[in-house]
A and B are shown apart, each in its own frame.
Chain A
Amino acid sequence: DTEVTQTPKHLVMGMTNKKSLKCEQHMGHRAMYWYKQKAKKPPELMFVYSYEKLSINESVPSRFSPECPNSSLLNLHLHALQPEDSALYLCASSQDRRGAYNEQFFGPGTRLTVL
């Protein structure tokens, strides 16, 4: 199994809602990532988990709350989002966080719309 899966594919939520994005990989990778991608832009890194511990938080607002329940799963909990948070949210994984040669494998993304 060489893929990263993400659910849901699409999500529409109001500014007062609480929702979660889910990501799963079964490649035995020990690093997992959340990215945010706006239209016509490259992905922007949000969080990095390494061996199930948060190792990088790119100064993301607290309305985004990541969680890594185990080495295969990564969640992104959303609460009180703003319309400008509408974007494609991508999950990725790699064998390890360190090492220039460790390529990242991306999931298909969740298209989030905040009304």
Chain B
Amino acid sequence: GDSVTQMEGPVTLSEEAFLTINCTYTATGYPSLFWYVQYPGEGLQLLLKATKADDKGSNKGFEATYRKETTSFHLEKGSVQVSDSAVYFCALKTNFGNEKLTFGTGTRLTIIP
């Protein structure tokens, strides 16, 4: 079945550091890939998405590129801020099977000033 694997957290970085959160997937067909962010005490917000191979999603300085050859969708940001502290979920959705949104386990990110 479909699955998403995210790097284990928690991740702690200093402000202005470079961020990478790894995400790899297994899916039938051609999934769309998503990054959601959950700030403390809140619901999930869609951060960015990509719907086909080599697409790059970007938003608020975050980027992720859909790599079909490595089945990856790693999240990157060049310079993180304290306000980026949150839990980040990688997710996929396919056109086949149960058509559900499949989430990774989430990565908790803490940025220290």
Contacts and interface: CB of A to CB of B under 8 A. Distances in A.
Contact of A43 (B31, B51, B103): B103
B72 to A, nearest CB: 17
A56 B98 contact: yes
For B36, B43, B49, B94, the residue with the greatest tally of chain A CB atoms inside 10 Å of its CB is B43
Nearest to A100: B32
A100 to B, nearest CB: 4
Interface in B33-81: 34, 36, 42-46, 49, 51
Interface residues of B, number: 26
B105 interface: yes
A2 to B, nearest CB: 11
A92 B91 CA distance: 15
Contacts of A40: 106, 108
Nearest to A9: B41
A98 B95 contact: yes
B89 interface: yes
A105 B46 contact: yes
Contact of B44 (A41, A102, A106): A106
A97 interface: yes
A105 B95 CA distance: 18
A104 B103 CA distance: 12
Nearest to B104: A42
Contact of B99 (A88, A97, A105, A108): A97
A107 B46 CA distance: 11
A41 B106 contact: yes
Nearest to B32: A100
A90 interface: yes
Contact of A100 (B46, B89, B95): B95
Given A100-B94, A100-B95, A106 B103 contact: no
A53 to B, nearest CB: 15
A58 to B, nearest CB: 9
Nearest to B27: A100
Interface of A: 4, 6, 40-43, 45, 56, 88, 90, 92, 97-109
